[in-house]
Amino acid sequence: MKIIRTVAEMQAHADQKRMEGRTLALVPTMGSLHEGHLSLVRRAKAEADHVTVSIFVNPTQFGPNEDFKAYPRNFQRDCELLEEVGGVSTIFAPDEATLYPEGSDQQRVWVTCPEMSRQLCGKYRPGHFEGVLTVVMKLLAACKPHNVIFGLKDIQQYILLKQMVQDLALDIKVIGGETVREPNGLAYSSRNEYLTADERSQASIISKAINSATQMIEDGEENPIAVTGLMREMIHSVPQAKLQYAEIVTASKLEPVEQFIPGVQVIVAVAVYFRHIRLIDNAFALVPV
Ligand code: PAF
């Protein structure tokens, strides 16, 4: 596994592989890798000859009161996990000055986001998705992949990045990797590390609420408010859980669903705090005909 720190070296490496006729896949991460990331790596291996994992905790996607400084960083352990899973050729691990030479607060050109970035998480994290889309453009420019793989747990991020790649005519296939869950149903997240054992067990309420909501929709419930009501009730039943949102949105534009339309796919999405730890989860549901 080659560790590359600069954009110029990463680009030269990608050019070389492309000249050799290899297909390249990129798995962008902020490190602190877990089973969810490893499943994206496995997916990348199935899609391409040469897999790069980028590890960069991106300052521009954290708000001033968020956990940028405290975000878990475990580079050595990440490298060991990637060695173990095998098939990763390159780790791209730039430092902040490499991706933001003028400083992350002096970035001049940004990718602007469409309206749907202001739904769900975007409502509570202003500027977050501009930071994500901008850093992913930098990572794509550095790593020059044919395929890029993102986790579907961050469904709004995935949809926005897919839209960015399409609207900016980037010649890259965007692939969504299924959410991987701990045995109790909690979706893997680097932030799960902050949870106590008790919170980790209580946090299983998130996927239970999502599953119940999905089931209710697929069983023919006609009123979206009844479904969000059930999710709220379930999450409020756990005293440590502080609900930020429980919503049903359209899968196309992430707009709140006021009425179910038969045959249309919707997304059920939840964000919950355990102390300062923010966890999200979601699922697709198909409204029956
Ligand atoms: O999903 C993440 O880990 C990050 O948002 C990403 C896509 C690596 C951009 O920093």
* Tens-digit pLDDT profile for residues 256-278: 999 999 999 999 999 999 999 99
Give the pLDDT band of residue 127 (cuts 50, 70, 90): very high
Mutate to test the pocket of ligand 1, among 117, 136, 152 (most ligand atoms within 8 A of CB): 136
Beta carbons within 8 Å of 274's beta carbon, 6+ residues apart = 195, 199, 202, 203, 240, 241, 242
* Cβ pair 1, 82 in contact under 8 A: yes
The CB-side HSE value for 17 (13 A sphere, CA atoms) comes to 20
115: its two tokens: 């309206």
Please provide the average confidence, as pLDDT, over all residues in the chain. Answer: 97
Indicate yes or no: pTM above 0.95: yes
In ligand 1, the atom with minimum distance to the C-alpha of 30 is: 3
Q: How far is the CA of 48 from the centre of ligand 1 (A)?
A: 20
Please report the pLDDT score of residue 84 as a whole number. 97
Residue labelled with tokens 């969504």: 176
- What pLDDT score does 168 carry? 98
Under a CB-based contact definition with an 8 Å cutoff, are residues 273 and 242 in contact? yes
Residue nearest atom 2 of ligand 1, based on CA coordinates = 29
Question: What residues are paired with 29 via a beta bridge?
Answer: 55
CA 69 to chain centre: 19
Distance (Å, whole) CA 38 – CA 275: 27
Residue 37 known to be catalytic:
yes
Mutate to test the pocket of ligand 1, among 39, 54, 58, 62 (most ligand atoms within 8 A of CB): 58
Q: Ligand 1: does its nearest atom lie under 6 Å from the Cβ of 55?
A: no
Report the separation in Å between the CA atom of 129 and the middle of ligand 1, taken as the mean of its atom positions.
Answer: 10
| Residue-level pLDDT at 76 | 98
- State pLDDT tens for residues 62-80: 999 999 999 999 999 999 9
Distance, CA of 150 to CA of 164 (rounded, Å)? 13
